[in-house]
Structure formats: structure tokens, C-alpha cells
């Protein structure tokens, strides 16, 4: 794939594996930093410092600083190709930034170790559904706990004690999450038979089942009806309140973003051009020129 394709259509590029890019950075896990993994004192806190990323001659991100406080719903918005999904991929370790570092709960990484993301308390959803279409809703959600499995292959095949306990615990946790998202009645349905909006909710359930400290949502409402978006917004807010998860959200529906977010960062051509409360952002002239296209009619944001 030619590198300029990334700048023109980030949504397509971000759905590809990193080695699909001719000039993509290696995603070998960086060595674990000295000191303990983020403890409860730092749960849900995220800091990005000077994040820059390029693919060949195309700059995706330039000197991005971002602070996310525990329990915050933090939106990242901007036009297509602005670098939003690239930033999420840096946070989740899919990409290694050329410069800068990621601080998760007080532990600093040059590259977040993707294989240990769940242990760091980070879970994510994707632009394009990444469900196991041939499995049931319950099995899809239970797969979100795969990182917590301690029993070996033989124990699982033979159904030995530890494997049985882990399976029972996983199903119980998955059922609680399905109940939370009003999906319990669908637990035995093949996920492929569900409408698109419900599949998006199943993907949220799979991310939530591990009760993450940080929840990364990449366009969770893309392709939904207005009613489905309203329902999903309520679930995202409830997830923050019920699970104590910090939420980092990429979303194109500006109405949803303004209503749901505590603070918003705006990217344009890989640079952060604004950062603040919804009121601050919707009245920022640079944001209006680059993304919103119109000025708000009043302080309540009507007309956006």
C-alpha cells in the first residue's frame, strides 16, 4: 500500500495490520520498564508526551501531548486523516511512536507492550467489528478474559479443577456484563445473526468484561441509527460510572461528542489544534475552520 493512502483514508489504513505498511514501525514489544506495573493509585490515568509518528514521508502525528484524568470521558475528534486512530494505535502499542512516550498509571513506555495490554488495565474496541462471527454472544464476551487464563492446554482439554473454575468464573463475569448491557437474552445467539447495532454492543461487552481501567473506543457509534447512538452513549456513560473506567473516545458525531465528553482534543493534519471542554472547543475558531465548518449559534451549541 502506498504511504499516501494512509493520509487520505485513515479509517481503511487503521484496520490493516502494521506490517501492511511499507514503512510502518516495528511493533516488537519494548522491554518492560523498571518498577511495578501501574497500581491502584494510578488507575485510569494516561499521559502522552511529545508523540510523533510518520510512515515514510507522510507525517501522521506531530508532538502530541494529551492528559487524561481517571474517570474522565475524553474525546478525540478531527477530520478524516487527522491522526485519531493512529494516536489510539500508539496508546495500545500497535504503533511505536518515532518520538515521545506513553505514561499509563505512572509507568512510562516508549512502546506500550501490546501482549500485556490487558494486564495494564487497557481494553479497546475497533472501527471495524472484530468479533468471532461463528461463536455465540456469550463466547465472544468470555473471550475478553483470555488474558486471565492460568490453566494450561492439557488442563483445559481434560477439564481439570483449575480450568473448570476459570471457565465458570469467566462465564459468570460475562453474564454480568451482558446483563449490564441488556444483552442477556441474546447470550446463546450466534453473533453473526445480530443486527449491526447489537454487534457493536457485544464488542463493547467484550472490552468491558475485564473491568478495564482505561477503555479505548474507536468510533463505537459508526453506522448506527440515532436511537442506537443514544443507547450506546448511555452505556458508555454507565460503563464509566459502574466500572470506574476512564474512556478515550473517537467519534464523528459531533452532537454525541459534545453531549458525552468531559473534555475534547481536536486533531488536524496530525497536530493538536484545540483541547478543552465541549464549550471551549465548539467556540474555538480554529476548530470551526478545520472541522465544524459553522459557528455555534449560542452557548448551548445549537446549530452544530
Please count the residues of the chain. Answer: 304
Q: How does residue 5 score in pLDDT terms, banded at 50, 70 and 90?
A: very low
Count of beta carbons in the 10 Å neighbourhood of residue 71: 16
Same domain, 231 and 171: no
Q: How confident is the model at residue 291 (pLDDT cuts 50, 70, 90)?
A: confident
The yes-or-no verdict on residue 49 having pLDDT over 80 is: yes
H helix or E strand, kind and range, residue 50? strand 46-55
Domain presence at residue 36: no
Domain end position, chosen among 142, 166, 195:
195
Which CATH number belongs to the domain containing residue 88 in this structure?
A: 3.40.50.300
- Where is pLDDT greater, at 146 or 45? 45
25 found inside a domain: no
Tell me, yes or no, whether 170 and 145 share the same domain.
yes
Going across the sheet that includes 271-276, the strands are: 122-124, 214-218, 246-250, 73-77, 263-268, 271-276
Q: What does DSSP assign to residue 135?
A: S
Residues 114, 141, single domain; the answer is no
Separation of alpha carbons 92 and 102, rounded Å: 10
Distance (Å, whole) CA 30 – CA 257: 34
In this structure, are 114 and 137 located in the same domain?
Answer: no
Residue 149 has pLDDT above 90, yes or no: no
- Read off the pLDDT of each residue in 93-112 and give the average, rounded to a whole number: 94
Do both 51 and 189 map to the same domain? no
What per-residue confidence (pLDDT) applies to 154?
40
pLDDT digits (tens, 9 = 90+) for 241-279: 999 999 999 999 999 999 999 999 999 999 999 999 999
Q: Please check whether residues 182 and 218 belong to one and the same domain.
A: no
Is the domain of 187 the same as that of 240? no
Over the Cα atoms of the chain, what is R_g? 20
Q: Note whether residue 202 is domain-resident.
A: no
Only one residue has cell 491522526, namely 83
Helices (H), the chain: 4-8, 10-14, 84-91, 137-142, 153-158, 161-180, 196-208, 226-243, 254-260, 278-282, 285-287
pLDDT digits (tens, 9 = 90+) for 195-238: 999 999 999 999 999 999 999 999 999 889 999 999 999 999 99
Asked if the structure places residue 22 within a domain, the reply is no
Same-domain check for residues 146 and 281 = no
| Cα 14 from chain centre | 12
Residues 113 and 224 in one domain: yes
- Cβ atoms of 249 and 76 within 8 Å: the answer is yes
Residue 136, classified by CB atoms within 10 Å of its CB into exposed (0-12), middle (13-18) or buried (19+), is middle
For residue 198, the tally of other CB atoms under 10 A from its CB is 18
Q: Into how many domains does the chain fold?
A: 2
Task: Say if residue 182's pLDDT is above 50.
Answer: yes
d(CA 86, CA 202): 24
Residue 302 lies in a domain: no
The mean pLDDT of the chain is 80
- Cβ atoms of residues 243 and 253 within 8 Å: no
List for the chain the helix, strand, coil content (%; round to 5). 40, 20, 40
Give the separation between CA 246 and CA 249, rounded to whole angstroms.
10
Stretch (H or E) spanning 101: strand 99-104
172 and 284 in a common domain: no
Within a domain: 142: yes
Domain assignment present for residue 41? The answer is no
How far apart (Å, rounded) are the C-alpha atoms in residues 1 and 24?
11
Cβ atoms of residues 160 and 175 within 8 Å: no
The domain in which residue 219 lies consists of 46-121+212-293
**Where a domain ends, among 195, 222, 240?**
195
Given 143, 167, 195, which residue is the final one in a domain? 195
On the question of pLDDT at 298 being above 80, the answer is: no
- Whether 216 and 14 have beta carbons less than 8 Å apart is answered as no
289 and 225 both lie in a single domain? yes
User: Are 184 and 228 members of one domain?
Assistant: no
Distance in angstroms (rounded) separating the CA atoms of residues 5 and 167: 44
The per-residue pLDDT for range 105-144, each reduced to its tens digit, is 899 999 999 888 888 999 999 888 889 899 999 999 998 8
Amino acid at each position: 500500500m502506498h504511504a499516501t493512502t494512509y493520509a487520505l483514508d485513515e479509517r481503511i489504513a487503521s484496520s490493516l495490520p502494521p506490517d501492511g505498511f511499507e514503512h510502518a514501525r516495528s511493533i516488537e514489544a519494548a522491554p518492560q520498564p523498571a518498577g511495578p506495573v501501574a497500581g491502584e493509585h494510578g488507575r485510569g490515568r494516561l499521559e502522552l508526551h511529545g508523540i510523533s509518528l510518520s510512515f515514510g514521508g507522510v507525517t501522521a502525528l506531530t508532538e502530541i501531548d494529551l492528559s487524561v484524568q481517571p474517570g474522565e470521558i475524553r474525546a478525540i475528534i478531527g477530520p478524516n486523516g487527522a491522526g485519531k486512530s493512529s494516536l489510539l494505535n500508539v496508546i495500545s502499542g500497535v504503533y511505536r511512536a518515532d518520538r515521545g512516550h506513553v505514561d499509563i498509571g505512572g509507568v512510562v513506555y516508549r512502546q506500550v507492550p501490546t501482549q500485556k495490554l490487558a494486564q495494564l488495565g487497557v481494553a479497546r474496541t475497533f472501527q471495524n467489528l472484530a468479533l468471532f462471527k461463528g461463536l455465540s454472544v456469550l463466547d465472544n464476551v468470555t473471550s475478553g478474559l483470555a488474558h486471565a487464563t492460568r490453566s494450561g492446554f492439557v488442563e483445559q482439554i481434560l477439564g481439570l479443577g483449575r480450568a473448570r473454575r476459570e471457565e465458570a468464573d469467566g462465564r459468570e463475569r460475562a453474564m454480568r456484563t451482558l446483563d449490564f448491557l441488556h444483552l442477556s437474552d441474546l447470550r446463546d445467539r450466534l453473533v453473526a445473526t445480530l443486527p449491526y447495532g447489537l454487534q457493536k454492543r457485544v464488542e463493547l461487552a467484550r472490552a468491558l468484561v475485564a473491568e478495564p481501567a482505561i477503555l479505548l473506543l474507536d468510533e463505537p457509534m459508526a453506522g448506527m441509527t440515532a436511537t442506537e447512538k443514544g443507547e450506546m452513549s448511555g452505556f458508555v456513560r454507565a460503563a464509566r460510572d459502574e466500572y470506574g473506567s476512564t474512556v478515550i473516545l473517537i467519534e464523528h458525531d459531533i452532537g454525541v461528542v459534545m453531549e458525552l465528553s468531559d473534555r475534547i482534543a481536536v486533531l488536524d493534519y496530525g497536530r493538536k489544534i484545540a483541547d478543552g471542554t465541549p464549550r471551549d472547543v465548539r467556540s474555538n475558531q480554529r476548530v470551526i475552520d478545520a472541522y465544524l465548518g459553522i459557528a455555534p449559534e449560542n452557548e448551548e451549541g445549537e446549530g452544530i
